Amino acid sequence: MDAPSSPNVSVPPDLKTTVKDEQMYEAHVIDTAAGVLAGVVALLSVLKTASWQRRMASAAIDLRIVWTFVLFYAGDVANVLVLVTVATGLYWLTIHKAQQQVSVVLPLPHQEKHFVTYVICAFALKVSQWTDDPRASEAKAVQFLHKLTVQLSVDVFFIDWERPRTTASRTAAGTTQQKRDLSPVSIWRTYFVANEWNEIQTVRKIRPTFQIMAVLFFLEALDFWKLTLRAPWPPSKVGTPSYSPIVRYGLASTLWLCIGLLQVIFTVFYEICVDDKIRQFVDLCSISNISVLLLPQRCFGYYIHGRSVHGHADTNMEEMNNNLRREAESLCAQRGLLPGTDTQTFQVALSTRLRSQYDRIRESFTARYGPARLTVPGSAGRWEQNIRAYHAMNHFLASVVDHVHPDMDYYVRDKLALERVMGVEFLEPIDRSIFYNDGAHSFSDVLFYGHESTLLSFDTLFFCVVDFACQNFVLAGLLTYIQQTMFQKIRAFFGRKNLVYKTQVDARFLK
């Protein structure tokens, strides 16, 4: 239970002047730190905007570019305010509670409002950061207050490399006919890969429910909430002083971030030793003979090369086991896109000519979220149109990977160290597209998995802002859980719809 409030701890007369000056100095330091860092991150926002402009193949500096810069800058300033406020809260928590005698007291209530304003501004800017998809504003779609809104409109397509097998038939006399029958290619492999992709869209590096329970365990069960009282540690037995918003925020945010960081570290070791869903998806693509193209920006995205080294994936159990055994014993080619390599994941910068052809084929797709027999009359014709468009897209992308089109060819290279650090590509794909080797599996950037730091910081701010309003950690944890569940369901629902539309996979096979 939260302790009732009471008058603040008295300050000795000889300390009043010193304390007042120190409080004014601390407020000045916070303002200065936030201002200086906000100016520094402006350069980072300019770099992000320039990179985004190139990846969108936009030459002109228009209102959309300016709006994109504003959104990037809002997100960077939010990160600055989080850094400054958490550091300030942790400073007051340790300095004030560690003193044996009253030599430093907390800022006065009207001065703490200045700090609370910073936290609320950080939360508001985080909300604006979560709507950094300019295409969403162009389409006038509902903004879900989430940075990963771009994931709901990412272009995705599964390239099926399987080709029909020929089967020789025999006559009654036992001789083989010259005519050969083609066995149809099964769609089940594509459905299976699409379903696995749908399932990992909302996978995170931490367990949100465990995160909330662990934080509440320390705050309530172990009585860490007593550290948020205005009295130095240990609290006085005579009366109960009121809470300090700065110390309360410092304790809650530090606990939340530390437990989240420990979960991330545990996940790293768990994925190395036990189970890694992201890398397993790449292996599944290779076994299924399916590649994946992901385009979060118009001319930039990710490619997962899943072409089977055995030529076919529609096979029986015996042949599949033999194929896997041959791979384990290095008796066949490697899985990489280039001969003699095993790199299967790439960042891709597409030429405008290739993207234009991609858009022309995609325009033939029509929205379809349910079975044709349950839609309006005439849907059968649209379904046949989608089938033709699907095969055209599959043939086109497969031929591009096989270097069939000289005017839309590509080459493979490594990114420079400076390109990786800055997050920008120095070479522009004018005549040929560029495939950058990517051993870090950066395609997770279009999943929840690749934005854990953003999700973790937002959950921290949400929990603390709710606690500012109600001064109840349990209620803040409950509302944070509801918020997490809501956004996860929104991401899953609309991400599933986008997957169905962009890949033409039947929604009934996705769970």
Q: Which one has a higher pLDDT value, 148 or 471?
A: 471
Among 241-255, 309-323, 405-419, the range with the most confident prediction by mean pLDDT is 405-419
Pick from 228, 230, 6, 226: nearest CA to 105 = 230
pTM: 0.84
Residues 149 and 491: their CA atoms lie apart, in Å, by 8
CA dihedral 97, 32, 457, 136 (to 10 degrees): 160
Structural domain that includes position 400: 156-186+275-309+335-448
pLDDT tens-digit series, residues 78-125: 888 889 999 988 888 887 776 666 666 777 777 778 888 888 888 887
CB 33 within 8 A of CB 56: no
The answer to the question of residue 491 being in a domain is: no
- For 174, other C-beta atoms within 10 Å of its C-beta total 6
Classify residue 391: in a domain, yes or no: yes
Angle at 509 between CA 508 and CA 511, to 5 degrees: 90
Mean pLDDT within 17-21: 49
Number of folded domains that form the chain: 1
Domain-embedded: residue 279: yes
Give Cα 399 to chain centroid, integer Å.
30
**Do the Cβ atoms of 386 and 368 come closer than 8 Å?**
yes
In a domain, 422, yes or no: yes
Residue 429 lies in a domain: yes
Count how many residues are written for the chain: 511
Strands (DSSP E) found in 274-336: 290-297, 300-304
- CB-CB contact of 315 with 289 (8 Å): no
How high is the pLDDT of residue 299? 93
Helix (H) or strand (E) holding 41: helix 13-55
Residue 137 belongs to a domain: no
Q: How does pLDDT run across 46-73, given as a tens digit for each residue?
A: 998 888 888 888 777 778 888 888 888 8
Over residues 156-164, mean pLDDT: 92
Count of other CB atoms within 10 angstroms of residue 122:
27
Residue 368 located in a structural domain:
yes
Q: What pLDDT score does 210 carry? A: 95
Asked if the structure places residue 67 within a domain, the reply is no
Q: What pLDDT is stored for residue 355 in this prediction?
A: 94
- Largest distance between two CA atoms of the chain: 115
pLDDT above 90: residue 259: yes
What's the pLDDT tens digit per position in 481-506? Answer: 999 999 899 889 989 999 998 988 88
